[in-house]
Amino acid sequence: MSLSELLPEITKAMTAKNYRGAAKLIQQLGDPERQSPLIQLYVAQIYEASQKNQKAQDIYRRLLQDSSNPKVMSQARQGLKRLENWEQEQRQQAIAQAKADPEGEKLGVLILEGIHHSDRQAAAQKFAKIMQLDAYSARLQLPSQGWRLYRTGAIGEMSFYRQQLSAVGIPCFAVAAAEINKVNVFTVHYLQGADPPTVICVNDAGQVGSLSFQWQEVQQQVVGLIPWFEEVYAMDGRRNMQHKTETLDYIQVCDLHLPGRQSIIRFCDRHYQFAQGVFFSPQQVSSQITVRTNWNHLLSFLQQQIGTVPLWSEFTSFGETAIDFTEFLKHIPSHLSFSRLEATPWDPAFQLYSGLVFRHSQQN
């Protein structure tokens, strides 16, 4: 039967919300007739009633682009608005349910992982829809490599977004701050012995003691450079002295992860006492040798012992995204004791990065 013959029956079925009957009538039409804007509108409404939202949205959007029929365009807009409201309601219900658990109320972070350039455009469109952003802003938020601290809040909500993003192929993960803070951190004063390795170190409570472990317990290595700031005076173009803070140096940190002990063994060039314990080069205590040289010898020694364990070294790019979340970082003890002129978010940002690496490896 032709479109002119079936259209009154199809319209009657749609008005009565007899979507199954309308669908059977539409199937009797030929392919060209089914492409009629009004029939396509009905098809979209049938998909909407069947909760096949993506198919309905695709047709509504196509009608807005291709159709010139005011009635069809108006109803397509209304359809998109209904679906948008439905999705928003579902989102709010899911977040509320995720946060209903007392554990879900705890503070957490959502971390975005790097996405290959060839996948960014498609990923940005999906990311924009889930996070309710425009496509351009979404593309800027997705990292091409390394990690980005994207959002903080209740871990239930962060986990909800992780599930939504992971379902469409956007790599990410969520971790509660409390889980990061459960990891023990031992800051090394010096390596007393190498076989088995024994370190003289400071624990979380500031107590000095010794700790022995096996090199094969080390499952990951995290290295990073933490900026060291100094107040300096500089002359501007008008030859007026100005006071400002500049990065004059970097603190070098190397964490060895011992997941079996839920512990991190932390080496830091500002804390390590090269005049004691194991010597890594004949010139280690020479007055001519620099801390940087001694540090490089220490890293080479550690590398020889731990072999090819995974190395995480993209702290700087991560830190640049993390330092904007100063309120969240207040909940992350840095386990770094430096005599700074004033506190900086870079110190807890490194602890956050290392802790995220520690917990992320356990999630996978």
Tens of pLDDT along 133-179? 888 889 999 999 999 999 999 898 898 899 999 999 999 999 999 99
Q: What gap in Å lies between CA 257 and CA 304, rounded to an integer?
A: 16
Residues 295-309 have pLDDT tens digits of 999 999 999 999 889
- Label residue 210 by pLDDT band (50, 70, 90): very high
CATH architecture of 3-92: Alpha Horseshoe (1.25)
- Please count the other Cβ atoms lying within 10 Å of the Cβ belonging to residue 128: 18
Please state the three-class secondary structure of 40-69 as a single string.
HHHHHHHHHHCCCHHHHHHHHHHHHHHCCC
Q: Directed axis angle between helix 70-100 and helix 53-66, to 10°?
A: 150
What is the mean predicted confidence (pLDDT) over 329-335? 95
The per-residue DSSP string of 237-268 comes to TTS-EEEEEEEEEEEEEEEEEEGGGTEEEEEE
- Give every CB contact of residue 17 below 8 A, 6+ residues apart in sequence: 49
pLDDT at 150: 96
pLDDT at 301: 94
> Tokens at residue 132, please?
């309710």
pLDDT surpassing 70 at residue 1: no
- Label residue 29 by pLDDT band (50, 70, 90): confident
pLDDT surpassing 80 at residue 94: no
Helix (H) or strand (E) holding 76: helix 70-100
Helix or strand or coil: residue 108?
Answer: strand
- Label residue 354 by pLDDT band (50, 70, 90): very high
pLDDT surpassing 90 at residue 348: yes
Q: Directed axis angle between helix 3-15 and helix 37-49, to 10°?
A: 30
Q: What gap in Å lies between CA 219 and CA 213, rounded to an integer?
A: 12
Residues 228-280 have pLDDT tens digits of 877 666 666 666 666 666 778 899 999 999 999 999 999 999 999 999 999 98
251-268 core/surface letters (b: 16 or more CB in 10 A; e: else):
bbbbbbbbbeeebbbbbb
pLDDT surpassing 80 at residue 90: no
What is the mean predicted confidence (pLDDT) over 170-193? 95
pLDDT at 233: 61
pLDDT at 68: 84
Please state the domain extents for the chain.
Answer: 3-92, 101-179, 184-363
CA distances from residue 308 to 52, 174, 253 in whole angstroms, order as listed = 48, 27, 19
Average pLDDT over the chain reads 88
CATH number for the domain whose boundaries are 101-179: 3.30.1390.10
101-179 matches 3-92 in CATH topology: no
Q: Directed axis angle between helix 19-27 and helix 3-15, to 10°?
A: 170
- Please count the other Cβ atoms lying within 10 Å of the Cβ belonging to residue 321: 18
pLDDT at 254: 97
Three-point CA angle 65, 25, 59, nearest 5°: 15
Q: What gap in Å lies between CA 264 and CA 186, rounded to an integer?
A: 6
Three-point CA angle 295, 299, 303, nearest 5°: 170
Indicate the pTM of the whole model.
0.76
Q: What gap in Å lies between CA 221 and CA 255, rounded to an integer?
A: 6
- Give every CB contact of residue 51 below 8 A, 6+ residues apart in sequence: none
pLDDT at 9: 87
Asked if 11 and 72 touch (Cβ cutoff 8 Å), the reply is no
pLDDT at 267: 97
- Give every CB contact of residue 262 below 8 A, 6+ residues apart in sequence: 182, 183, 184
